[in-house]
Amino acid sequence: MTESPQRQETPKKILLATDLSGRCDRALDRAVMLADEWKASLVVVHAVEPDYQMVIEDEHDVPSWRRSSLRRMSMAERQVREDLHGRNVPFEVVVEDGEPSEVVLRAAAERGCDLIVTGTARNETFGRFILGTTVDRLARRASAPLLVVKARARKPYTKIAVATDFSDLSRRALEGAAELFPRTTTALLHSYRPIAAGLTSTKIGDEAGHQFAVDECARFIAAATLPPEHRAKLQIVIEQGDIEAVVKAYAEDKGLDLLVIGARGRNPVLDLLLGSTAERLLRSAPCDVLVMRNS
């Protein structure tokens, strides 16, 4: 069993990426709650993109206060400060011109942010969450962990699950969850397929697949760097089927607050590929999702 290291500190600087729309209100509430819990400061980042209305219309048809990029930046900063008025956390506001993901990544690197928090829109017509270009890019390229907030922040995270395929990526996700939420019981979710090769009985194949997953899980946990108290409370969930279906059912039935998944470390070759399973879980999970980077 791996020896447990000293517990790492929780994040001390949290970046909130916001487009100032209603879809980011939930992310703001969660970022403030985490900052208060961890005694951290906030860096609130907003990117001012070009006003394309001015491109297609005569400048004189656009209100004077929108013709200047500096004025639009000032308006954005004022809204951020109004949104954070009365919140009992220290914060810094960063409003810059540019493509949103680039502005966010640059601000996170320059200020040494330990966590990036952002929101996502919900498509009520189709009843599912839509990530959007900025979140997709942050998930692929951010060096810091990325928290995508989907639900209202009514209380601290108390029900957390880590999706695992027993890889090093998912081991980092498990260890990261223990570091960030040391007092919370974590469920380890794994899905398996029956072993059919050379077997005449479906039942035997199911049992063989399950036993193989149980053995792999034991080795996976033994190799993980976890505090003893966290290891003792770890809940193991091994189910046959697709991991998306397992996560969705577990989240809905158990009232899951947060799903933690692993992603590849930053690598120019891999920047465009988060990983098909991780990306599907990021999109489909009905709860907040934390993407832990294996850097």
Distance CA(2)–CA(222), nearest Å, equals: 6
Distance CA(92)–CA(84), nearest Å, equals: 10
Task: Look at residues 8, 84, 7, 97 and name the one whose alpha carbon lies nearest to residue 43.
Answer: 84
Residue 201 is predicted with a pLDDT of 57
Q: Are 1-154 and 157-295 the same fold in CATH?
A: yes
Q: CATH: 3.40.605.10, 2.40.50.100, 3.40.50.620, 1.20.58.1610. Which one for 157-295?
A: 3.40.50.620
Distance CA(280)–CA(275), nearest Å, equals: 9
Weakly modelled stretches of the chain, pLDDT under 70: 1-8, 50-70, 121-132, 196-201, 264-275, 294-295
The answer to whether residues 274 and 282 touch, using CB atoms and an 8 Å cutoff, is yes
Distance CA(61)–CA(267), nearest Å, equals: 46
Predicted TM-score (pTM) of the model is 0.84
Q: For the chain, give me the number of helices (H) and strands (E)?
A: 10, 12
Secondary element (H or E) of residue 91: strand 91-97
Distance CA(143)–CA(295), nearest Å, equals: 7
Average pLDDT, the chain: 82
Domain boundaries, the chain: 1-154, 157-295
Residue 78 is predicted with a pLDDT of 84
Tell me: the pLDDT tens digits for 215-247? 999 999 999 999 999 899 999 999 998 999 999
Could you tell me the two tokens for 180? 């960030």
Residue 69 is predicted with a pLDDT of 60
Could you tell me the two tokens for 34? 């985490």
Largest CA distance in the chain: 78
Q: CATH: 3.40.50.11890, 1.10.8.100, 2.60.40.10, 3.40.50.620. Which one for 1-154?
A: 3.40.50.620
Task: Look at residues 34, 182, 185, 230 and name the one whose alpha carbon lies nearest to residue 114.
Answer: 34
